[in-house]
Structure 1
């Protein structure tokens, strides 16, 4: 038997028992693996439902343009459907989202506009506001508005809830899911609670989001809002798809715990899942006191790890944010092993001859070039030699006439592998600012010295 098109393969995702990572939880813990959807995420379900309902109501017309603010996964589902159904797509997203997500959307032919993360939703620059403006300016366009479009939660009421009920043979006692738009948890919860009102619905929130406090106090507290790294969950407003009456408890998980658990899921269970899955598992472990023997806990795994290879699955990215223990050499430890010496810089207005004299007197091969104390470039022995071979009279010219791009700056937590990759023919060193704000230089010799020391 075959499918008529890729859209017919959405849904019916597997339920897989977790073993090693949840060994301290007395209950049976199952993961709903939504990565097997064709767009590799649970958002395929609601993307199709929103489009189908918009077509029925006449909001989305043939040849129309779908315009939406998305963190990537909803966009993928919409873009996939648009290809089959003949629509165009324009998506706005935030600069917090992984490059892999943006590249994937563009691979499906969508236009993607990246907007700043750290602005209010009402700000004209926010990805919510930009998408709304584009709808007003684009003829025959439609904005799904996944946050307030109740077709989102309805998709999970019609599909995800029934699947989980059938797959657990009605034995599910707890549902754990990240809360972003709220569609997944609210739609699934509505179906499950109709089947058994005793089922506990546990929402995963992140620090920097308003959900948990609003559920517990009824207060929308703007002081709860601040930037965070975790993708796919949490919000700084209250989407209509979040039905707080269906969610029994919210558990907050830190960015660090979510990121590290994302990696652990792959290493311990062989499941390549995304950042919100890591957050959901970390939150489940934090709530282990709520579960007893005989309970059946289902955790939604919304998307695939391939969307995060440059982030949670990149050790340098983790180390730069202080999320990963310092097992390898870093810029900090390389500097600590260096002999203490003040870095030599030279002003861009100095002459090439002065640079030659400095290099000779100090027996060095390269110097960062500054302008008003700021590093703006570099000068090396080979730069000077090449310039003078072409024109010997250049010796009296200012350095800025031949200075090349500055050495790359790295963070103190940057690992040795990343530093080594940055040192090449064009860059014989990297720069790093220490804890006191002083600039240090790291050369290949310093790396060798640190390794051998």
Structure 2
């Protein structure tokens, strides 16, 4: 009989799958190393078990101990499998930008999950780096994994992933492309492949908001490059020891939108249901296509499963909120379709200005139409109110009709966006759409700008 002694023995030997439709226009054979076939559904299973076993061997991890790690979710899953089989407790510290599915899965396999804010500096005591270290100091008989600087991470891919790719391509691989986060995958695979053939090119996929690309090209760690981004699992605001820049031939950056869009394209055009970093990786391959020749063999690694992003990249509402769905926006009705069900906020001519101010604050808006019994007769915006306040500090107690401006222009639902845009000026900050006999909706500059995404 053939069977594994435990789930850890099923890690590795993931398939190479040819990319067909999405590789149209690329003069090379493009193969995906689909790591979702690992038991924890990601490439991180490999290094998680390697780090645990190396820590056991040198005494850093003792029987009955607690494993503590800051993770985007996938390393946590690999560590959870190891903890279950080997009898350890596990605490996973995550940033709040990670998907709810990742957090729920970790809790399902027995891990304690601690969530930290994303938009803080790495050395901030609230960051998931700092919280992980502090918990390792406070919890008795614990071991802080530190996948970023733990070189067992790189070793796992040098010993496993690199050899698999070499054997599966019969040594014909010419380019390896992969998203870079902790750096273990790219560095371990690169080290092995370049030892076999120094001419193999290694390309890293980076994201906007990460320091890798500029640092690799200039040697400068530019803090101005660091800002919040949506793409999960790749990019960093630190320089992990596992990133061996000397083995990497270059980086290309992929936008959050492209990463999300191409994640969905992989599912619907290739039937490969993988995660957000895979979308970034395949878009990166397309961006690098001028580097490939007809006889080249390009291997791109897909880190994890799409099941961890069902509430994000595979959710139309989530995508639409961020402007990632390429909905055609050509008319007034297109601009307001996501909030057309909300009532138009108005103020009456005889109400006090203080009422209008309260409404602006409550609904977080900057413009408000003014009405009376005959219909729409004027408008107020925060700029005009500010100017009026400078002139008269008692303005809040006056009726709206004394400070209101001209009514906003009114257009039909079918009016083009180009025509609507021309109606905005220094003196006019909004446009009203006439939807039915007594129903109107407002279009602001924000709506126009949002349609440009």
Fold agreement, TM-score > 0.5? yes
Give the aligned partner of residue 12 of structure 1. 13
| Structure-2 change in CA distance of 1:103 and 1:446 (3 Å) | farther
| Structure-2 change in CA distance of 1:336 and 1:310 (3 Å) | closer
Give the aligned partner of residue 259 of structure 2. 258
Deviation for aligned residue 1:296:
0.1
Correspondent of 2:337 among 333, 338, 360? 333
> Is 1:235 aligned with 2:239?
no
Deviation for aligned residue 1:342:
2.5
Give the aligned partner of residue 312 of structure 1. 313
Give the aligned partner of residue 94 of structure 1. 95
| Structure-2 change in CA distance of 1:332 and 1:130 (3 Å) | same
| Cα distance in 2 between the residues matched to 1:189 and 1:84 | 30
Deviation for aligned residue 1:7:
0.5
| Cα distance in 2 between the residues matched to 1:173 and 1:55 | 37
Q: Is the 8 A contact 1:334 1:446 kept in 2?
A: no
Deviation for aligned residue 1:326:
2.2
Q: Is the 8 A contact 1:72 1:102 kept in 2?
A: yes
| Structure-2 change in CA distance of 1:95 and 1:337 (3 Å) | closer
| Structure-2 change in CA distance of 1:439 and 1:162 (3 Å) | farther
Which 5+ residue runs of structure 1 have no aligned equivalent?
348-369, 377-434, 448-453
Q: Once the two structures are superposed, what CA deviation does each residue of 1:250-286 show, in whole Å capped at 9, x if it has no partner?
A: 0000000110000000111000010000000001001
> Is 1:214 aligned with 2:202?
no
Q: Aligned residues, how many? A: 367
Give the aligned partner of residue 180 of structure 2. 179
> Is 1:158 aligned with 2:159?
yes
SS at match of 1:374: helix
Deviation for aligned residue 1:333:
2.9
Deviation for aligned residue 1:374:
2.3
Give the aligned partner of residue 412 of structure 1. none
| Cα distance in 2 between the residues matched to 1:5 and 1:437 | 64
| Structure-2 change in CA distance of 1:373 and 1:110 (3 Å) | same
> Is 1:204 aligned with 2:205?
yes
Alignment of 1:406-425 (within 5 A): none
Give the aligned partner of residue 104 of structure 1. 105
> Is 1:60 aligned with 2:61?
yes
Q: Is the 8 A contact 1:180 1:234 kept in 2?
A: yes
Deviation for aligned residue 1:372:
9.6
| Cα distance in 1 between the residues matched to 2:335 and 2:11 | 46
Deviation for aligned residue 1:325:
1.8
Q: Once the two structures are superposed, what CA deviation does each residue of 1:412-434 show, in whole Å capped at 9, x if it has no partner?
A: xxxxxxxxxxxxxxxxxxxxxxx
TM-score (norm 1): 0.76
> Is 1:114 aligned with 2:115?
yes
Give the aligned partner of residue 277 of structure 2. 276
Give the aligned partner of residue 323 of structure 2. 322
Which 5+ residue runs of structure 2 have no aligned equivalent?
352-357, 365-427, 441-453
